[in-house]
Amino acid sequence: MSLYFASFSVFRGPIGSGNSPGKSGMKFEKLRLIQEESPRPAAENMAIDETLFLTAAYPVLRSYRWVRPSVSFGYFTPWSEVALPYAGRDLVRRWTGGGIVEHGQDFTYSLICPGNKSLPTTMELYRLVHLAISNILLESGCQVEMVPVSDPVRSSACFEKAVQFDLKLRDEKIAGAAIRRSRKGLLLQGSIQRLEVPAQFEVLLAGALGEQVDVSVVSDLMTEQAAHLAKEKYGAAEWNCRR
C-alpha cells in the first residue's frame, strides 16, 4: 500500500462515454476537506491553492467561492485574450494550465496531492476525479456523460471546448479542470458550471475520493502566508500581464 493511495474498486454503475462500469479506481487513504463558505478575492483564492500545494502533508480537497465575478486563465494564456473581453471582472492568472474560466456562479474546487512517485499519471487522476463527479451527479438525476475524445473546436475559453474525460450534459461541457505537476506533487483546479450541484457536494466528492476524510479550515498562519503571496504574485501585473 502506497503512502497516499490504495487500490479500490469504488466507481460502480454507468459512467457513460463507453467506459466500463466497475473499473478499478483509486482512493486516497486520507483526505483533508476544506469547505470555504466565505468568498475571497481572485488573487487570494489562487494564493491559498498554491500555499496548500507547498505545505500540505497529505491530500487536500478545497471548495471555495469568489467575492466578485472573476475570470481565471491558464498559465500560458496571453493577457490580450482576457484584458478587453472580460474587462470589469477580477482577472487572475492560474499557476495551472488550461483555458479561460469564468467564476462566480460555478462550483470551484482544488485537489492538492503531495508527492509524485506514488500518484497516478496526470490523465488518470483527471479521469478519476471526473468519474467521481460523474457518479455523484448521475445519482442526483443529472445524465452527464464523460467525453471519450477531445472536441476538435479551437477556443481559449475552457467551457467552449471539451477535452478527454471532461463531463457534458445535453452536449454542453459542465466540468473541466487544469493541472500543474512538479516534483512537489500535483495541483488540480476544477470548475463545475451550467448546473446546480447537489447539497453538500464537496462532502460527497471527498467521500468518493478518500477512505478517511478529515474536515479542516484554512489556518490563520496559512491565510497570512496566502495574503502575502496574493499581493506579491497573483495580484501583481508582473504575474498577470506577463504574456
Active site residues: 158
Residue 60 pairs in a beta bridge with 32, 112
Whole-angstrom Cα distance, residue 124 to residue 119? 9
Amino acid of residue 168: K
Nearest to 128 by CA among 239, 11, 217: 11
Whole-angstrom Cα distance, residue 179 to residue 175? 14
Pairing between β-strand 210-216 and β-strand 25-35 as defined by DSSP bridges: parallel
Give me the phi and psi of 43, to 5 degrees please. Answer: -60, -40
- How far from chain centre, in Å, is Cα 132? 13
Whole-angstrom Cα distance, residue 241 to residue 243? 6
Pairing between β-strand 60-64 and β-strand 25-35 as defined by DSSP bridges: parallel
Whole-angstrom Cα distance, residue 174 to residue 193? 5
